[in-house]
Structure formats: C-alpha cells, structure tokens
Structure 1
Amino acid sequence: MTDAPNRMDGLNREQIDKAESKDFALGGKPMRPRDSATLILLDRVDGDVRVLMGRRHRNHAFMPGRFVFPGGRTDPADSRIPVADGLHPDEERKLIGSGARASAARARAVALSAIRETYEEAGLLIGEKGPFSTNAKDWQGFAEHGVKPSLSCLRFVARAITPPGRVRRFDARFLAAWRDNVAVELPDGGPTNELEELVWLPIREAMEAEIPLITCTVLQDLEQRLKADPELSPGGDVPFYAMRGKTFRRQIL
C-alpha cells in the first residue's frame, strides 16, 4: 500500500514537490509558463473507453519513464496551417477565455500543435483525407499522406499550469478526440523518438500506470465527464489547475 496522493488539487507546495520529485527538476529562476498542447485520444471498445499513452525514455530529464499523452510546446506558427474545418465555436470560446494572452490565433495554434505532436510522437494523423500542401517543415507528413488537419473534432477538457520552482513550466491545455477522427495510422509510429512504447489502456488501468500526478488528476475528471456526457459534447466544463496562494487548486472554466 502507498499513501502517495492520486490528485494534485488540494496539495500544498511541499506535498507537490515531494510527489513530483522524480518527474521535474526543481530549482531554476522564476519563469513564465510556456504554452503547451496535449491530446488525449480516446477509443471505445466493447463499451469501455481506452486512452492512448506512450512511455517517455527513461534517460529523459523531463518525466523519465512516465506514460504520457502525446504533446509538447505550442508553436505559434501552427496557427497558419490550413485546415479542413476549424474549432467548434464553443470550444474556441473556451480556449480563448483560458488565458490572459489568449486569442483566436493562439487557440488555433494550441489545437493544431496537439494534432501535430500526435503525428510526430504516435504516427496518427487527425483530419480528412484529401489534397493538402504547406511549406511548413513540421507538417510535411500530412502532405505526404494526403491528410488535411481538422479541428472540429477536438474537445478542450482540462488546463493545468506547472507549479513554480521547476526548471520547466508549462501552461498545458489538454484536448481530447476520438480514434475515429484519425485519417491515417502509420504502422511504425511517428518520426520522433519521444515515446518508446505506445499502448491503448482503459481509463482505470491508465490511472494505475506510471503516470504523472497531473495526468492522473485529468483522467479522473475525464472519466467523470464521460459518465455524464459519453460523446463529449462541445462546450463542456473545463477544470483548471494552478497554484493559488500556497495550494494547488481546481476551478472550472
């Protein structure tokens, strides 16, 4: 048995530092969190919802050996990538309203970054089959496989800001989509080596895997949302986690 916490909200700074000591390098100068985008890809099998996760290499400095969702830093240039269709208006409003510096362009960049990272790390191209061209180097895989990215399938399901006192800090937006929205699945995974093992796990099993504490927290929230809204309708409540005072707190966007 272990007395380790399985949620981040309600913990103080000392408790969080202890819980995340193996995942984050502590210290460093104060810094503004960088925008990042994460995609939770879902697949319904025999009435059970599974999530796609990949294990980070154990020699990585950031979250070594942990199972995570595909994701990474948001690239503002992604906002200029042409799409088959844009974000659902309710989802766009949620993303625009989720930060002081947010805008329609930033919301679009977040969404497209999540799709790009899912291709790069997992070899899954979300969108619609058809002609697609761009000069952007990071999107040539979509052009080669004839997939035009699509944003209307994405749902904004959580936001979390890394607590201060870490060498790396992120303002992470967690988006979700269904496996049905994947136009192409590459048999050998994505072109990067960020994730060495890709698995589809039932949500309950995913919570028991080697995952970061914030990932477990987000999965618990997602499980509850799916019980009330199995199809993830647009515009649902979005939990937002961040340090407020001395405590890591949860509020709803």
Structure 2
Amino acid sequence: MVLPESMVPDKFPDPPVTPKDAATVVLLRDTAAGLEAFLLRRVMGMAFAGGMSVFPGGGVDQRDADVAVAWTGPDAEWWAERFDCPVPLARALVCAAVRETFEESGVLLAGPSASSVVSDTAPYASARKSLVDREFSLAQFLAGAGLVLRADLLQPWANWITPAEEPRRYDTKFFIAALPEGQRADGSTSEADHAEWRRPTDAIALWKAGERGLLPPTWMTLADLAEMPTVADAMAADRTISKIIPKVIREGHILRPVLPGDPAYPQAANHLDAHPDDTLGR
C-alpha cells in the first residue's frame, strides 16, 4: 500500500494532540460462503477517513459512563483488565460500542432481559435518531425502553492508536459481535454513503484492486478475521490486546505504512523518534 505524499501534514502538532477515546464494533454473520463483516463507506470530504470503508464506531460520549445503565454480561472491571484501562473508561467504551453500533447500523445489542435480545429494532427508530442528536443518553434510552445492555454479546479484539504526528488522534478499542437473529444492519447514517456485508478476503481483494479504501486498522482486522471459519470461532478466539500504533515511512517520494509483523516496524519506531517530520500514521 502506498500513500500520496499530500497526506503528510506540513506541520505536526507540538505538543501532540491527546487521543480521544473511541469504540469500533465489527459486526459479523455466517453465510454459506463463510463469515462476513459489515462495512460502511464514510462520506467523501469528512475530516477523518472520508471515502474509507470502516466498521461502525465513534467517539466516547461523556454520558456513556453513566453507571445507571442496565447491564448484563462481563462487568466493567473485566473489560478494564482486557483493555488495560480504568474501570470508568471501560464502562464508557462498552456503552459507546453499543450506542454507536445502533446509531450507525441499526443493530441493537440489548434485550428485554439478561437472556434475550431485540429481534426487531423498528420500534426504536425514533430513539435511534434521538441518540444521534444527543437528546438523551444510552442509559436513558434503555431505561425508557425497558432494555438491558448485553455486554456478553461483545468480545474485545484490538486497540489501535493514531500516532502523535496526526492532528486528529484516537485511542480506539475494537470489539466484535455477532449480528443478532432477526436484526439487519442498514447503514442508515449521515456519515456513510454505502453499506455492505463482505467476506474479509473479498473486502481486502477489492482494496488491493483499488475499488475500496481501507485504513491499516481495518484491513489488518479483516486479515485476522479471514482466518476464522465461523462467527463462533471469532467470538471464542483468545486475543491478547496490545496497543498498536501504525508507522508510515518515507521511501523517496513514496509513503509506506508499516505495521507490527513487518521487519521494518521496529526501525520505523526508531525513525519516528529521530525524524518525526518524515512519518505519518492514521
């Protein structure tokens, strides 16, 4: 993958921008052809990742930390241990994951009881819009609808952080979740102009052919999921979550992203320390 030189900022923030906490959810479903993931193509011209195919997700809202949210499944302490973060933040991340997934895809990881999940989200269409407009919090929505957040429907997958050279930085926790039976992902969000289900290998093939744009966290996640035969296999995977910061090195007039596993990655890290003006990451 080659990045245009125009992506390099003329001036890097000094001091670096503090990353904003964010949550991303990879929705998965089984098909006769294999596991598929749900992708949204962000509207061109957006300040961050415009035109790129991404998973549903977004920044943590202050109200996502509301301890009054009805909750079942692994508690906030368990999530804090998995993502190596404070307990209040862990709670907020799980709530943000559920909220953003509902806002951007219409999929609701909640149910009327600890052992059930909503099968038809149509009755909550107006609430979905109100959540997008920040008229009330996720906790208020769930309480009013008599629903319980199903943290047990989520699994931790990865943690990606935007490098210090970028003017917009995110510390994003990646989750995976199976599409609940009876629900459909619609992609009805103002932030996207296209939505699709794709087998990970097919999505990567389209990216390599220049027909889709994928950021490193997206295509690396897809590459990992391509090794999973079924959703159950992915949900049962024993993942070690570590913070990943992509590096991008300059080779002449070409910018090349370097990721963990690439022999150049440690050198890229050293290069970043020595010559910050020569790198870019996202």
TM tier relative to shorter chain: 0.7 to 0.9
| 2:271 equivalent in structure 1 | none
How far residue 111 of structure 1 moved from its aligned partner, in angstroms, is 1.2
Check whether the contact 1:75–1:113 (CA below 8 A) recurs between aligned residues: yes
More helix by share: 2
How far residue 84 of structure 1 moved from its aligned partner, in angstroms, is 3.7
Q: Judge which range, 48-57 or 211-220, deviates more.
A: 211-220
Check whether the contact 1:25–1:61 (CA below 8 A) recurs between aligned residues: no
3-state SS, counterpart of residue 152 of structure 1: helix
> Matched residues in 2 for 1:108 and 1:210: separation?
31
CA RMSD of aligned residues (A): 3.7
Q: Judge which range, 28-37 or 127-136, deviates more.
A: 127-136
Match among 40, 52, 56 for residue 38 of structure 2: 52
| 1:137 equivalent in structure 2 | 136
How far residue 210 of structure 1 moved from its aligned partner, in angstroms, is 2.1
Letter in 2 for 1:204: T
Matches within 5 A, 1:200-215: 200-208=197-205, 209-215=212-218
How far residue 217 of structure 1 moved from its aligned partner, in angstroms, is 1.3
> Matched residues in 2 for 1:20 and 1:173: separation?
28
Kindly indicate whether residue 226 of structure 2 is the aligned counterpart of residue 223 of structure 1.
yes
| 1:83 equivalent in structure 2 | 70
Match among 233, 238, 241 for residue 238 of structure 1: 241
Match among 86, 108, 115 for residue 103 of structure 1: 86
Letter in 2 for 1:94: R
Listed as ranges, the gaps of 5+ residues in structure 2 are: 119-123, 206-211, 250-257, 266-282
3-state SS, counterpart of residue 43 of structure 1: strand
Letter in 2 for 1:33: P
3-state SS, counterpart of residue 108 of structure 2: strand
How far residue 171 of structure 1 moved from its aligned partner, in angstroms, is 0.8
Match among 67, 78, 81 for residue 53 of structure 2: 67
How far residue 105 of structure 1 moved from its aligned partner, in angstroms, is 1.6
How far residue 79 of structure 1 moved from its aligned partner, in angstroms, is 2.3
Listed as ranges, the gaps of 5+ residues in structure 1 are: 6-17
How far residue 172 of structure 1 moved from its aligned partner, in angstroms, is 0.9
| 2:19 equivalent in structure 1 | 33
Greater radius of gyration (CA): 2
| 2:102 equivalent in structure 1 | 119
Residues 206, 129 of structure 1: CA spacing in aligned structure 2 closer, same or farther, 3 A cutoff?
Answer: farther
Letter in 2 for 1:65: G
How far residue 90 of structure 1 moved from its aligned partner, in angstroms, is 5.2
> Matched residues in 1 for 2:172 and 2:191: separation?
18
> Matched residues in 2 for 1:156 and 1:19: separation?
32
How far residue 225 of structure 1 moved from its aligned partner, in angstroms, is 5.7
Residues 27, 235 of structure 1: CA spacing in aligned structure 2 closer, same or farther, 3 A cutoff?
Answer: farther
> Matched residues in 1 for 2:33 and 2:70: separation?
31
Residues 217, 117 of structure 1: CA spacing in aligned structure 2 closer, same or farther, 3 A cutoff?
Answer: same
| 1:94 equivalent in structure 2 | 82
More strand by share: 1
> Matched residues in 1 for 2:182 and 2:112: separation?
6
> Matched residues in 2 for 1:174 and 1:92: separation?
13
| 2:276 equivalent in structure 1 | none
Deviations 1:55-81 (CA, angstroms, capped at 9, x unpaired):
100121211111100111112421215
Given the two structures, how large is their TM-score scaled by the length of structure 1?
0.73
Letter in 2 for 1:123: G
> Matched residues in 1 for 2:220 and 2:234: separation?
20
> Matched residues in 2 for 1:69 and 1:230: separation?
19
> Matched residues in 1 for 2:4 and 2:9: separation?
12
Residues 160, 196 of structure 1: CA spacing in aligned structure 2 closer, same or farther, 3 A cutoff?
Answer: same
